[in-house]
Amino acid sequence: MRVELVPITMTRCVNSSQLRDLNLERDLSTPASKRHYVRTLFDTVERSYDWFTRLFSVGMDAAWKQQIVSLLRESGLAEGRVLDLATGTGDLVTRLEAQIPGAEVIGADLSARMLRRANRRALPHIRRNAVADMAELPYASESLAAITAGYAFRNAPDHTAALAEAYRVLAPNGLLVTLDFYLPPSRVWRRVYLGYLRISGRLIGRLVHGVPETYGYIAASLARWMTTDDFSASLRRAGFQLVDARLRLGGGIAIHLARKSG
């Protein structure tokens, strides 16, 4: 099991030439190549990630993340250890700590550079955040009260293995709340939705990083992903009880709340 604690002085330089070496068709074809692609990508965009997310979602990202926190509170979570998967720059961790003060919130991410930025937001997290693959989490079985996952499982090299690992580390009756992009069920809306994500993502990627594929990845990964109903079925196959699924943007975005059976 790989565990890599992140010191504040850690650095890993990724430049535009490394981004240009990536290939969406090739690198999203296997779990190993996807893992390399995702890590290189997010190591590169850590400085622009927060403002890009707000711009790309037309400001809706903050409301979606707030719904994650609200669902946990409404479900009765007031304390315990909460893991934020694919924590990125720590935006959701900050919200969880502010609104569920009895919880111990920790973060895990594949990108060390993202975690370094998260550490700057909250210094006490330096020893608690870990660089980790979602399919190999460095936590004991049944040790977590809840897991949050914003834009996480779509980026996992193997989402089935990642869901199984989330199930393993959750305590009985533990909660999993996910937020992600999905393929809209309407084929007409799906074409429009993917078209917007593809064009705007590639445009911003070219303007900011000189490489269209930087944010073109979102549409490319989504085209290989699934609908909200498909993900609900994946949760059930992993052993979770689906509690709620809240669809946004015609099924292009969804928040799932699931519980590990006691």
* Domain residue extents for the chain: 4-185+216-260
The Cα-based distances of 119 to 86, 89, 113, 183 in angstroms read 14, 8, 10, 33
Q: Which whole-number Å values give the CA distances from 80 to 76, 142, 172, 240, in the listed order? A: 11, 12, 13, 19
| Closest CA relative to residue 248, chosen from 233, 220, 228 | 228
User: What is the value of pTM for the model shown?
Assistant: 0.89
The rounded distance, in Å, linking the Cα atoms of 94 and 84 is 10
CATH entry, 4-185+216-260, from 3.30.930.10, 2.30.29.30, 3.40.50.150, 3.40.50.980: 3.40.50.150
Please give the chain's pLDDT, 262 residues, in tens.
333 333 333 334 445 556 666 677 777 778 888 888 888 888 888 888 888 888 888 889 999 999 999 999 999 999 999 999 999 989 999 999 999 999 999 999 999 989 888 887 764 544 578 999 999 999 999 999 999 999 999 999 999 999 999 999 999 999 999 999 999 999 999 999 999 999 988 888 888 777 777 788 899 899 999 999 999 999 999 999 999 999 999 999 999 999 998 7
Both tokens assigned to 233: 């079925």
Given a contact cutoff of 8 angstroms between Cβ atoms, the answer to whether 109 and 115 are in contact is yes
Residue 1 contacts residue 138 (beta carbons within 8 Å) = yes
